[in-house]
Amino acid sequence: MGKVKGFMEFQRVLPADREPLERIHDWLEFHKEMALVDLQQQGARCMDCGTPYCHTGFMLSGMTAGCPVHNLVPEWNDYVYNGFWHEAYDRLIKTNNFPEFTGRVCPAPCEGSCVLGIIEPPVTIKNIEYSIIEHAFTQGWVEPKQILHKTGKRVAVVGSGPSGLACADQLNKAGHGVTVFERDNRFGGLMMYGIPNMKLDKKLVLDRRIDLMKQEGVTFMESTEVGVDYPADKLLEEFDAVVLCTGATKPRNLAAEGRDLPGIHFAMDFLRSSTKALLDNTEAALSATGKNVVVIGGGDTGTDCVATSLRQGCKSVIQLEIMPKPPLERQVDNPWPEWPKTFKVDYGQEEAESLQGEDPRKYSMMTKKFLADSQGILQAVEVSRVEWTGVDGRFVPQPVAGTEQIVPADLVLLAMGFIGPEEHLLQQLQVVQDERSNIRATDKAYSTNRERIFAAGDARRGQSLVVWAIYEGRAAARECDRFLMGETHLP
């Protein structure tokens, strides 16, 4: 513990963001960097708790508490405070293959479980993590490592999202020959096309890491969909083991009258179109330019749709959330170290409020039907307020009579999450799915019903956080290595 009373002397401070009305005119990352001396003060706020819940990483009341990859948070906070940046970097990468990803897009359950957060705003763990890894890249400490020991074993990793990349990275370090199959033309899974560039720069962040992995010996096969471009049965013929990291990419639909009208799209189709157009320097196939946009669903994806619509020059944008507005502070039924279910303003809402004069979110709102004009073109959404009432032991939303409203809409984006992995490859491989349609694989062995086939990430656990995907990729790699070699030295 570098500063015994640091948590008493220093207040929580985050780096400033670029002004909302400035940043909505480009696709550059919006966070500014913080001076190293200021970061040292933030590191000093860490109390080096006897039981550091920040890195516990477990599920509590259905939510993540602490860091799933068990980041050694107090240790690298202390190193940062004392100015030992290389040592902080060494501790950080012991548990996390890609802190540059989590430092940008993770919601930071570590901060929700910070012990200091009981009485004061928590330590700025996420920003310190981001600063350590970016400082390491700037100093040239992040270099490709030569893998000296080769096992002669070959492993196929299907999917290049965070779980697939983490799995491939770990297996490569163990000396196996690793090939990553990706059906898209660029690597990164939903991090590439599902997260906008201003939140996660594709060339600066994703391509930088992929290039490092290539230099370390990982083989990447883009535009190759296993089961379509590459026969599924060849996997077990050509590889000693297979790890399925295909994600949970089936979007949740909305059963409402008029759903089939033109102009209603899944959020991921819209975000993919936008990022692909940016990277290819072309026009987006789906655009919000000049349109009244209605985003249905909260969460990060809904926020990303709001921010993307603003950058494309929409006429207006609102976001409908069926849940009530969260409270400003923790409630009695949401105690520490649970994830705090409190009201937050993310970057997209901040931008919309700056431009439109109010928060775009409308809470406790249910979509009843979509309305078309005389030409059969989408022109509005009929919504109503809801109340959450107990029915058969569970809370369900009930529409409130007389609260119906007509909301103008030229473009509707469904951002209501995902329901599981796509099934055609699983059927070809005869891999069994569980009652939620996820791949059935054990928590300890990550093995499926098919010998030599493992599974990890959202395809196994269901839609979750990037940091959980990294954890799962690492864990599946460890068990795959144990299967191949009879023992493992992977963490």
For each of the domains in the chain, give its residue range(s) and CATH number, in order of start: 6-139 (1.10.1060.10), 154-249+419-485 (3.50.50.60), 253-416 (3.50.50.60)
Tokens 């083989």 map to which residue? Answer: 219
Query: Cβ distance 79 to 39 under 8 Å?
Result: no
What is the pLDDT at residue 390?
Answer: 83
Region 38-59: mean pLDDT is 93
Using a 10 angstrom Cβ sphere, with 0-12 exposed, 13-18 middle and 19 or more buried, the burial of residue 146 is exposed
pLDDT at 2 over 70: no
**433 secondary structure, DSSP code:** B
Residue 274: how many CB atoms within 10 A of its CB? 25
Tokens representing 193 are 């096309």
Above pLDDT 70, what percent of the chain? 100
What is the pLDDT at residue 438?
Answer: 97
Question: Which parts of 182-299 are beta strand (E)?
Answer: 219-221, 241-244, 250-251, 264-266, 292-296
Tokens representing 327 are 């409270």
pLDDT at 393 over 80: no
Tokens representing 206 are 């994703």
Q: Is the pLDDT higher at 358 or at 393?
A: 358
- What are the pLDDT digits (tens) for 425-457? 999 999 999 999 999 999 899 999 999 999 999
Radius of gyration of the chain (CA): 23
What is the pLDDT at residue 1?
Answer: 65
Region 75-99: mean pLDDT is 97
Q: Is the pTM of this model over 0.85?
A: yes
Q: Quick check: helix, strand or coil at residue 448?
A: coil
Region 365-390: mean pLDDT is 95
Closest Cα to residue 320, out of 357, 268, 383, 362?
362
- What are the pLDDT digits (tens) for 114-166? 999 999 999 999 999 999 999 999 999 999 999 989 999 999 999 999 999 99
pLDDT mean across residues, the chain = 96
pLDDT at 412 over 70: yes
pLDDT at 191 over 90: yes
What is the pLDDT at residue 394?
Answer: 84
Distance CA 184, CA 207 (A): 14
